[in-house]
A and B are shown apart, each in its own frame.
Chain A
């Protein structure tokens, strides 16, 4: 094979490997498009008996390739709804935990911890202090995960 052709082959295979790795890792995330069972254990009093999630996986594997800001938002809202003190009916992306939803700072900390469980990384205290709406959280997670959008 000529030199140019081998370079092209290497370039192509590198890209294939990269995109495979990306979609493999996002498949792992998309395996839990709704709230993972783990974060339920963080919130006291709700769901004292182990409950199987009734929610079906909405996305097909073909569509599951991308971790987008939109999917993050859904996951964040899902986590917030799991909290016993959150009124799911009133919850929106822009609901302020303290001012709109009437939560206290301990509840806020619990929610942030559940977000950590959901997305698999720790959020330092200084940063979590300013994450006061689901939208803020989603944007922060998106930035940390280097999501486009």
Chain B
């Protein structure tokens, strides 16, 4: 059972309240595909991923980024039950999508960097630590149903 202090919950919700899920999601996913190009293997039917510009402008990347981050929003509403929240998605990523869970860690770290660039000095060490904990737990929850 994960423990979240009041301060951690506050750091998560106050940051989340200011996040534009569509923009942030698109940015995070685009960066994943740019910084770790091998992750493009999961998106071969997304069309033009030939350059950072193409990736950033790709509407399917944007849409999927939004979907991914929207699901993060669900996690934030259910901080005390991340495993339950991600149970079905975990099965999906294993059985249908065949995604190596290491990729969840990569995306989590990228999300933290996107938040840092967006919030600049407000993204304090305490804030980062809380979010690193969250993305780590989400990655873990998503990997949990793998077999």
Do the two chains belong together in a single complex? no
